[in-house]
Every structure is written in structure tokens, then in C-alpha cells.
Structure 1
Amino acid sequence: MIAARQNQTLSLSPYNTPGGWGDGEAINLIYEGLVRMDPSGKSSDIVPAIADKWTVAADGLSYDFHIRDNAKFSNGDPITAEDVKSTLDMWADPKQDQWAAFAAGYKSTDVLDPSDVRINLSEVTGGFLYQLAMVAAVILPAKLVKAQGAAFFEKPVGSGPFMLDSWKKGSSITFVKNPNYWQPDRPLLDKVVFNFVTDDNTRILALNGGQAQSIDSVPWSQVEALQHTNGVMVDAFKIPSWILLSVNHKKAEFKDVNVRQALNLSIDRDAINKKIYQGLGTVPNSFLPQLHYDGNDSAVPPFAFDVAKAKSLMAGSAFPSGFKATLEFPSGSTAFQALAVVLQAEWAEIGVTVELRPEDQATLSKNFTGGTYDIMLPYALAASDVPIPDEFATFYGMPGSTNGFFTWWSDPTIESMVKEFIHTADDATRAQQWPKIQAAMAEQLPALNVLDLPLVKARAANVCDDVTNPIGYDTLLTAWIAK
């Protein structure tokens, strides 16, 4: 199967993913963790992967996992408890893993025997199984990683349904079926090619012309036309995804909460949704996407459009005369180009003069993580790796993790609330805690959320059973092509 992908794969290391979605989808095919989210996409449940069973101690401070007997790496070597221990220790080490915040609560792993491990936690962690299902927690062959270092990730040995065949950086990446995958009847496809096609119209032409059998990031303006195109199927998946608009709190302008609230209030989300996103989006009541435990609209009201109030907030800010800023966004996207133009005009109404700067994904990632931007739409589609709030609550609420997800925002009160939430096991209690955090963050606005959006993909009609998991990655376990 040949797929045209908007996002390039820049890295195959689960510990360093500058390509965002482009890295995550590739890593998801090559590697696997102890557990995974339901690959059928029918639920957000945690299901077995490399581990076929596990138990949780009564105090919630340890998890025992059994590695399935036929679990092997793609080179045929068995997956051992030592591999699990070594990998999880790397996962939790901020010196080795950019996303070590994913390992909140992790303390150590004990090797009980070659097929059994005990994972010990420093504190009860309510979403720990989901943490183990994230891309960053995949299991690697410890000896090879230690021997090869960074070179390992150029030609990795994995444990997932596919393995790397070739990687032409900036152009394409090719996967072939892993003959040693623990699920002997999966995957059904022998070969998968991701061609990197950043331009929206070129992806559409590739699908319509038969050069691609699947495309992602369907241009919103062309969804309806594709739905009426013979031989093409359009799929919309509800996942925790949103238009993330990040602001850099290292800049004095964005450190001022009045400015952030003014920017937020001056966005006409209803108009943007109708004009650019064909009404497929949802006006959010959180600066994060829709997640489990979210308060409803009556508990946490959706973001309003109120230019008069926005002007009043600007007048009361440290920058009453306005200021200049740059807005960086993914190049090649017709929707982001249109959105950027709208935001530029709307913010001009409150005295903020915006220079538009389209960038390729590598440049966006460098500027985002380096904190050298003003305002940024850092991803073609931002999405949570889990359906619960824990991941991005940690990113933003615990600034030591990723510098407030590269906003350099912090709030000690919210940090305390987030820590309590993450380290609470009782589901009912977490359901009470999160809406309070959601409301507090909606007031403080570490970043902005323009709209919650579904994931929209298109495929040739003869591509069958191509489903996504609960966070939107193509699993390609069941996909097949009809003759």
C-alpha cells in the first residue's frame, strides 16, 4: 500500500520525535510496548501487546507483567525481561528521553525471571497503563541499543508488525511485514510506503491519479468533493486532536495573561469552523482537545468571541498600544494558510500586528522546542497520545517536564493540582478533579485551542479495514487491498 503523508518522518527514535505525527506513525509500526490501546479503534481500552497478562498490587505501587512466549524482535531474537528493564529505564531518564515526563511515577523495574518483570512506582499513578501504551514506552533490544547508540535508530530492530525496509529522508519511508511478529496472522499487507507530500493539492492528485491508495490531512475545502468522487472513500475519526496555537511565555507580551485572554477572545471560532473547516470542528471549552473527564459546556463554558472585551483586556495589559509578533505555521497547508490570514486580521483589531511565516516541519520543530518563536501552529494536527488528560496535563502543568510544552509557562497552584490528579488512582475522584484543572487552565491559557477537529483521511475504495487506533495512528494490522 502506498500512502501520501503530509508529515515527514524525521526520527525513528521514540525518545526524540521532532517530526511529531510523522515520527509517531512510523514508530507505531516498527515498535511495540508491553501494552497498547485497542488497535481496532472500537474502544480506548488498554489491551495486551508484548505482555500477554499483568497484575497490579493492592497498593497500586507495582505491576507484574509476563512477556508472551512468542514475543520476538524483528531479527528473531526473543524479547526478554532484561530488554524491558533496560528500555523502561531509558524511557524514564530525561538525559536520554525528551519525553521522560511520560514516565511520571516510574521508579524501577525488577527482573523476576527471563519472561517476567515487576515495575515499581514511586507514587500511585492513575494513568500508568496508558503511559506504557505511549510511543515513548516501546520495548527495544537493549544490547543493540547500547552497542550502536544513536546509529541504532537509523536502521532499527523493532517488535512491531512491520520493520524498516528503506528510508529516503525528505522523500519516503518503506516498511515490510515483520515475519517474527507475535501475532502470526498479522499484518495482512506485505509492504507499506509512506511518501512525504506536504502540499495539500499534490496529495489529492496522487490519490485521484492512483499514485497513492491512502492520504492523510485531507484539505478541508475538498472533503465534500472527495465524498462524491468515484472510487474514493473519506473517513473521519473522532480522536483527541485540536488546532494547537502555542505562545511563547519567554516573550513579555505573552507572559501577560490579559494579552493571552485578549488573543483568545478575538478569535471568531464559529466563522473559522464554517469557512475553513466545513463545519466539522467543535468550539472548545479547553485549551486542550476533548479528553476523558472533561467538564461539559455548562461546567466549563466554550470559549467566547468578544472583541470589545478583548480590546478592554489589551487596554489593561502591559501593552495597551499593542505590539508586533510573528505567526509560524506549517507550509503547504491550504487550511493553515487561510487560518493564519484570518488570525492576522482578527488580532489586528486589538492592536496586535502579525507577520505570517510558513515553515517546513523541521524548522517549526526546531523553533518550537528551542523557544525562538512568538506564536506558532506547531503541528499539522496536534493530538494527545492517550485519551485521558494525564499526558498534556503533565506537559503544561508540570513545567519541569517539557518547559510547559515549550511555552515556558508555569503556575505553582495548577502544578499542585495536576500532581494530585496524576497520582490519584480512584476514577471517580479523578473525574471530580479534572474539570477544576480544566477551568483553571482555561482561565490562565498556557496556549490557545482554535478548534477541536476530527482526523480526516481518504483512501481508494479497494483499501479495506484500514482503521486507526484511539489516538489516530494507522495500525495497518487488518488493512488489505481488494483486487
Structure 2
Amino acid sequence: MSLITNGRFDRRGFLKTTAAGALAASLPLGSARAATPKRGGHLRVGKGHGQTTDTLNPGTFENGYMIAFTFAKDGRLTEVLADGSIGPEVAESWEASEDAKTWRFKIRKGVSYHSGGEVTPEDVVASINFHRGEGSTSAAGPVIAGIQDIKIDGDDTVVFELNGGDADFPFILSDYHLAILPKTDDGIDWKSGTGCGSYKVQSFKPGVSTSFERNENHWRDDVAWFDSIEMLVLTDQNARTTALVSGDVDTVDKLDLKTIGLLSRNPDLVISSIAGTQHFTFAMDSRQAPFNDNNVRLAMKYGVNREELVEKILFGYGSVGNDIPIGQNQLYYNTEMEQKTYDPDKAKFYLKEAGLDSVDVELSASDAAFSGAVDAATLYQNSAKAANINIKVSREPNDGYWSDVWMKKPFTAVYWGGRPVQDQAFSVAFTCGAEWNDGFWCNEHFDELLKTARAELDQEKRKQQYFELQEIVSTEGSIVIPMFANYVYATKKKIGMPEKAASNWDMDGERWAERWWFV
């Protein structure tokens, strides 16, 4: 049982780093990062996410607002560190069998809930089981589908038996849905708002705001520097920017990239641009015509001008995508796959293969999807015309976009934060029947190969398997992934941050509540 021990990935040279760890974080524009944290102060945060349909049920978390919320309130067994490696959180350490099918996690002593009582192995089992089974509707269901059994050994160890080897399993348990919560007779207590994280929830108003207070009884003394936090839902781009400039908030995400030049001249602001796994997509419902024909899907992929989107929507703060959710600096990125480019003639060829001279589709977009999503849809509309693809752009309301439009309408704009390892990215959004498979795409060979790659411990074999998986998604999948976007956010100069910013999610991996402080 020696493959992985002491709560850190060693893997004996296998999987030396994650994608996030391989990506360099850009230095902020306007100021160096401060080095010495100190406690105190009230932080005000404006988030370009959140909606009135958000709930405290961890299985429903689906946007950046709720990711930041749960990272402040809750603990998980593991966490992705700023350098992209995996580290311990509620779990103190772990070890795996040589075939990576059996994993033993030692649960940390002295981790207490905001409502009282310590975290127990029974809580851990109940919290993970909450997302498992036929009755679960959790978005994390596909992520942990490989768990065959969970049992308790002694008074501090939880043992996971998997249905196949999984060298990435500790990364899986860092998923933001998998919060450790108190066990109840029928599951877990998610309704009260208690947690074991570094901040306690004082109020939660879905689609409006959340108030936090530092958890003085948290087991760590090197996190949670603010006394209190107010996190506001500011999905309107102008309102968010105005709140920052006027001083109503101390930091915002999802900046209007058109205004960065102006904002960077403000001596009171610091702009951070971090290359990561975030990507912006257009999801096609493969169950519905015309997207049920892969020839049409290929035509859509060749009908988008990727370089134009990076230039005009991202203003250079990103790179072109190749219809896969894997970034160029991630481990096992397919360097041999041909990069798709804007090619109206090739798009027309695929339309003819589908028996069509032209095609009419409607693209639903909202800036709730990503900043500039409606403009991106309009650019897509313009470029596709030359390929006889007629796109009608439907501008949707910000509020309710994720509950009423995404995965409800056949062609939608979407943002994804990416995942630290490829298996997660594919499992969450591309396996048949996955809760967030927003292209409703099924490919039996893909699903079987993904299982094989997950269990493969030979690095070269695993590389070739992931190369093939990416090729399948790029050429047969029902998602257009034209661009990868840097995480670009702004803070007041009075906010101190670690030298290394995480790149697995926006705003320092959405761990800003724990990692930042007032200078």
C-alpha cells in the first residue's frame, strides 16, 4: 500500500504534476504581491455569478459564486494547492494499493463543525454517499461513479474500494461538491448551513448576497485572515465594474476585458491575469436535429473563427481551443492533433455530407455564461454565414440562465472552469448520462477507453489513451470549444495575496477567502 502516502502525490514519477501546476501564474499588473499575512478587516467581493435558484445542497453547486461559497464554508478530504498538486484537508494522509483500487484515508482529529461536534469517519462516509447511488441527482455522481464501496476501519480511517484502478482518486475527492457535512438519519445536514470550513455563514440570500464570519475554532491557523466577508451577486458587467471603481467592493472577477487598459491605470487597483483551464464553449444538443448528425457538428466547428474570438472577446487574454476541455499546458495534452481553424469551405463540405446546402440554428447566449458571450455569439453568427450556417442569436436573461436555458435549449453559450486532471474533465461533461453532459453526447468506445485510461499506471500507455480520448471528443463530440480564457480579476491594492496564484479556478482557485488578507 505504498503508491501514495502522507497526503501528497508522489506517484513515483508517474503523473509528475497536474495541469494547473504546469501553468505559470502571471504577476498582477500594478503591484507586487505582499508577503506577510495579517488578520482583520471586512472584505467585500463582487462576483459575476450566482442566481436566485442557488441552494445549499452541495450536489447542485454549478457556478463560481457557489464554488467560492463552499470553499469558504466547507472542508473536503483533499484540496488542490496553489501549485496544482494535491494536499490534505479533512483527510490527514492517505495511501493506495499497488493497483490503485483500494484507498485508505486517515481522517484528521480536531476538525469541528460551526454548529458544534467534530467531523467523524461516519460523516465522511455519509457525505460521499450523498452523491452516490441511483437516487442521487448530484452533479458529482459521475465523478465518483468508480467508488464501489466505502467502509470505516478503526476510529479514524475511511477505506474506498474502487471498481477499477484510479491514480487520480485524491484529486477526485477535492471536487467542490464533495463537502464533508454532519451525518443525519437520512443523509447529511446541508440545510442548516453548517460546515467545517474556515468561515461561518451568517446569511445566505440566493442570487443576492452571502455574509461570512471567520471560524475562530478552525483547525488551521494559517488561513482565513479576514474577520468577515460579504460576497455579492453582481452579474451585470457595468454594475460590477462600477462597484469596484467606486469602492463599494474590494475585488471582482470576470472583468470586462475591454476596460482593462483603463482599469490598470487606476493606482488603487491591481489586475491579475492567470493562464489556466477555463474555457468558453458552445454546447450543441446531440439528441436534436440538426446536431444529431456529426457532419453538422463538424461544420459548426469549422464555421467559427477562433482567432477572432480570442482577439475580440478575450483581447488576447487567452488562447484558441481545439474542441477539447484540456488546456495546452496540461499533462497529456494531445500535441499531435491538428488544430482546427476557420474554414468555411470545409464547413460547407460537411454540410453536404449531411445532405444539406445550408442550416438554420438558434444560439442562446447571456453574459451570465461568460463576459462577452452575446458578442461572441454575434461574431460566430457573422463568421458562420460564409459557410451557409445561419445562426440566430437569442439574448437570454442573466438570472436563471443556468436553470432555464443551459441544458434546456439546444445550442447555448457556456463557461467551464476546467478540472485539474483529464479524467475529471471528461467524466463530468462527456461520459454518457453525466449530469453535466451539456451536449447530451454518448460514445460507448469513449466511455470504455476512459475507464481503461483511469486505471492505467504505465505513463506512456496512459498518454496514448488520453491522446485518443481527446481526438474522439474533438472530432465527434457535440461541444464547440473555440477558446481558453485567462482568469482576469481585479483587487484593491490594499489586498495582499500569496506570491503563487492558483489556476485551477478563478480568483486564486476560488480560495481567496482563505488565502488573501488586507495589507
* CA–CA distance in structure 2, aligned partners of residues 98 and 333 of structure 1: 21
2:487 to 455, 469, 483: 455
* CA–CA distance in structure 1, aligned partners of residues 342 and 66 of structure 2: 35
* Inter-CA distance 361–57: structure 2 relative to 1 (3 Å threshold): farther
Quote the offset at 1:99 in angstroms.
2.1
1:382 to 405, 416, 427: 416
2:450 to 392, 408, 418: 418
Matches within 5 A, 1:234-273: 234-273=271-310
List runs of 5+ in structure 1 lacking aligned partners.
none
Aligned-partner residue type, residue 194 of structure 1 = M
Q: How many residues align?
A: 468
Contact 2:323/2:479, CA 8 A, preserved across alignment? no
1:103 to 141, 144, 158: 144
Aligned-partner residue type, residue 412 of structure 2 = M
Quote the offset at 1:132 in angstroms.
0.6
Quote the offset at 1:185 in angstroms.
4.0
* CA–CA distance in structure 2, aligned partners of residues 107 and 143 of structure 1: 22
Contact 1:55/1:63, CA 8 A, preserved across alignment? yes
**Equivalent residue number for residue 118 of structure 2:** 78
Find out whether 1:295 has 2:333 as its counterpart. yes
Aligned-partner residue type, residue 254 of structure 1 = F
TM-score by length of 1: 0.91
**Equivalent residue number for residue 66 of structure 1:** 106
1:344 alignment partner, SS class:
helix
* Inter-CA distance 426–176: structure 2 relative to 1 (3 Å threshold): farther
* CA–CA distance in structure 2, aligned partners of residues 465 and 331 of structure 1: 27
**Equivalent residue number for residue 476 of structure 2:** 444
Matches within 5 A, 1:11-22: 11-17=55-61, 19-22=62-65
**Equivalent residue number for residue 432 of structure 2:** 399
**Equivalent residue number for residue 11 of structure 2:** none
Contact 1:13/1:27, CA 8 A, preserved across alignment? no
Quote the offset at 1:252 in angstroms.
1.4
**Equivalent residue number for residue 171 of structure 2:** 130
* CA–CA distance in structure 1, aligned partners of residues 266 and 165 of structure 2: 52
TM-score by length of 2: 0.85
Contact 1:72/1:159, CA 8 A, preserved across alignment? yes
2:315 alignment partner, SS class:
coil
* CA–CA distance in structure 2, aligned partners of residues 332 and 435 of structure 1: 29
2:366 alignment partner, SS class:
strand
Matches within 5 A, 1:49-448: 49-96=89-136, 97-143=138-184, 146=187, 152-290=189-327, 292-297=330-335, 299-330=336-367, 335-361=372-398, 363-367=400-404, 371-378=407-414, 381-384=415-418, 386-402=419-435, 405-448=437-480
* Inter-CA distance 321–340: structure 2 relative to 1 (3 Å threshold): closer
Aligned-partner residue type, residue 260 of structure 1 = R
**Structure 1 segments of 4 or more deviating over 6 A?**
none
Aligned-partner residue type, residue 280 of structure 1 = Y
**Equivalent residue number for residue 27 of structure 2:** none
1:5 to 47, 68, 72: 47
**Equivalent residue number for residue 505 of structure 2:** 471
* Inter-CA distance 263–272: structure 2 relative to 1 (3 Å threshold): same
Higher-RCO chain (CA-CA 8 Å, sequence separation at least 6): 2
1:26 to 50, 69, 85: 69
* Inter-CA distance 145–21: structure 2 relative to 1 (3 Å threshold): farther
Quote the offset at 1:361 in angstroms.
4.9
* CA–CA distance in structure 2, aligned partners of residues 106 and 334 of structure 1: 37
Quote the offset at 1:164 in angstroms.
1.0
Quote the offset at 1:49 in angstroms.
0.4
207-216 vs 106-115, greater mean Cα deviation: 106-115
List runs of 5+ in structure 2 lacking aligned partners.
1-42
* Inter-CA distance 440–226: structure 2 relative to 1 (3 Å threshold): same
* CA–CA distance in structure 2, aligned partners of residues 60 and 287 of structure 1: 27
* Inter-CA distance 283–185: structure 2 relative to 1 (3 Å threshold): closer
* CA–CA distance in structure 2, aligned partners of residues 14 and 358 of structure 1: 29
Quote the offset at 1:374 in angstroms.
2.0
Contact 1:247/1:447, CA 8 A, preserved across alignment? yes
Quote the offset at 1:362 in angstroms.
5.0
Aligned-partner residue type, residue 450 of structure 1 = P
Q: Deviations over 1:83-104 (max 9, x none)?
A: 1111122222342223211103
* CA–CA distance in structure 2, aligned partners of residues 135 and 454 of structure 1: 21
Aligned-partner residue type, residue 137 of structure 1 = L
* Inter-CA distance 89–333: structure 2 relative to 1 (3 Å threshold): closer
Quote the offset at 1:227 in angstroms.
1.7
Contact 2:365/2:395, CA 8 A, preserved across alignment? yes
1:387 alignment partner, SS class:
coil
* CA–CA distance in structure 1, aligned partners of residues 323 and 416 of structure 2: 14
* CA–CA distance in structure 2, aligned partners of residues 360 and 289 of structure 1: 29
Query: Which structure features the higher share of helix residues?
Result: 1
Query: Cα RMSD (Å) of the superposition?
Result: 2.2
